[in-house]
Structure 1
Amino acid sequence: MLPTPYIKCDYDTVYEPSEDSFLLLDTLEEELPYLESRFKNRLSVVCELGPGSGIVTTFLMQNGIPSKNQSIYFAADISPWALDATLDAAKRNKCEKSYLEPIQSDLNRCIKSKEVDLLIFNPPYVPAEEVPAVPTTKEERDEWLDLALLGGTDGMVVTNKVLDQLDIILSPTGVAYILFCARNKPEQIVERMSRDGWSMELIMHRKAGWEVLSVYRFTR
């Protein structure tokens, strides 16, 4: 069993690791043989969108996923609090030997050069009337946290932006792992993305309280 990173940060500003975070960690551990085989003996570009506390990016670096000592890591988030937390998590878990680049960016300006080999996304998936506006200052603590949780109609407004850009983010052999809740209607997403030429495979799902969470693997 791979070690879980030690995380300590201000949970009034970033999403506290919860069932969805640990489901992603378990998925990545289970998928390790697949990823090692796919990216064996090559430099891999890894990007987590919305790293929050930094637990997933740190887990990847800590365990050399997907290719030991041959990966560079990007953490892209609109929240400055999330980027601070991710850098702190990497430091606390002694990941200094890994290359980590934090990027403060919204989804319309994230990496679009078909260079990402491994993309991880735990989106704001909670259905809401609308996606919160981006706060104008770092001090608006509650607003930054809301932005990490609320995903608009069906909880899919933010996720759909990523799905629409997947082809211009992932490398030709790239893999994406995206988390959904049942209210996101993932079965409909499978049908839509399949029509666009994507292969989606359910890797792991778990009941978490009143919600059912699932992680799907996307490949061309």
Structure 2
Amino acid sequence: MFPTPSTSHVDYDQVYEPSEDSFLFLDLLQEERSFIQERFSDSSKLGIPTVLELGLGSGIITTFFHNYILPQALFLGTDVNPHACKTALETSRANNGTRYFDVLRTNIWDGLRPNTVDVLLFNPPYVPADNLGSYESSIKSDDWLDFALLGGEDGMQVTKIVLDQLDFVMRDRGVAYILFCFRNKPEEVAKAMTDRGWSVKKIGERKIRWEILSIWRFSR
């Protein structure tokens, strides 16, 4: 079992604190380590892989992935929260992180070019909510945590945007890891994405109090 990256430097007043969903992500990525390393083993022909994490938060997932899963990759993270962008870079540096890591403050992945991502990591805001906080109100109040938690109707408002854009941003060898809660209806999502030509596999799940969280792999 690989150690969890240290986040003792993080101010959790404005950045999502790693919780059961984060630790499930780390555990299952560790189980996927051989699959990922084999898939991207021949960088001489296919080029150095690019890893993108959407919604970095504390940066713990990207840091773990760099340290233990695919250390030779190039890393990019996005987050709408300015505190998260700064914190993720600090987490990487505090855990012997890579200099080949940069952060883009943006809404999901605006500005990314097509066919550029080899590995996508996404622990989305998945909690169902009728009302989402607005970008403008977050700027005024400097309160960004709703963006890390609330996923709108069925908790899928943000995740649906990501799923719809996978064909645009992912390379042919690309693989995406996305977390869902039970109320997101991941089985229905998997069927819909399979119908679109993706290979979809649930790599694991965990019951946490009243919720069931699962992580699914999407590949071509």
Q: TM-score, normalised by structure 2?
A: 0.93
Amino acid at match of 2:128: P
Residue 129 of structure 2 is matched in structure 1 by 128
Residue 53 of structure 1 is matched in structure 2 by 58
Alpha-carbon distance between aligned partners in 2 of 1:108 and 1:45, rounded to the nearest angstrom? 14
Indicate if the aligned counterparts of 2:55 and 2:108 stay in contact, CA closer than 8 A: no
Query: Which deviations, in whole Å up to 9, do the C-alpha atoms of 1:155-199 show, x marking residues without a partner?
Result: 000000000000111111000000000010101101111111111
Alpha-carbon distance between aligned partners in 1 of 2:83 and 2:153, rounded to the nearest angstrom? 25
The alpha-carbon distance between structure 1 residues 200 and 209, as it changes in their structure 2 partners (threshold 3 A), is same
Residue 21 of structure 1 is matched in structure 2 by 22
Indicate if the aligned counterparts of 1:74 and 1:100 stay in contact, CA closer than 8 A: yes
Residue 203 of structure 1 is matched in structure 2 by 203
Amino acid at match of 1:148: A
SS of 2:135's equivalent in the other structure is coil
Shift in Å at residue 207 of structure 1?
0.6
Shift in Å at residue 41 of structure 1?
3.1
State the number of aligned residues.
215
The within-5 A match list for 1:127-206 is 127-135=128-136, 138=139, 140-142=141-143, 144-206=144-206
Shift in Å at residue 108 of structure 1?
5.6
Alpha-carbon distance between aligned partners in 1 of 2:86 and 2:176, rounded to the nearest angstrom? 24
The within-5 A match list for 1:103-122 is 103-107=104-108, 109-122=110-123
Q: Gaps (5+ residues) in structure 1?
A: none
Alpha-carbon distance between aligned partners in 2 of 1:138 and 1:93, rounded to the nearest angstrom? 30
Indicate if the aligned counterparts of 1:176 and 1:218 stay in contact, CA closer than 8 A: yes
Residue 95 of structure 2 is matched in structure 1 by 93
**Identical-pair percentage:** 47
Shift in Å at residue 204 of structure 1?
0.8
Amino acid at match of 2:151: G
Indicate if the aligned counterparts of 2:54 and 2:109 stay in contact, CA closer than 8 A: no
Stretches (4+) displaced over 6 A: none
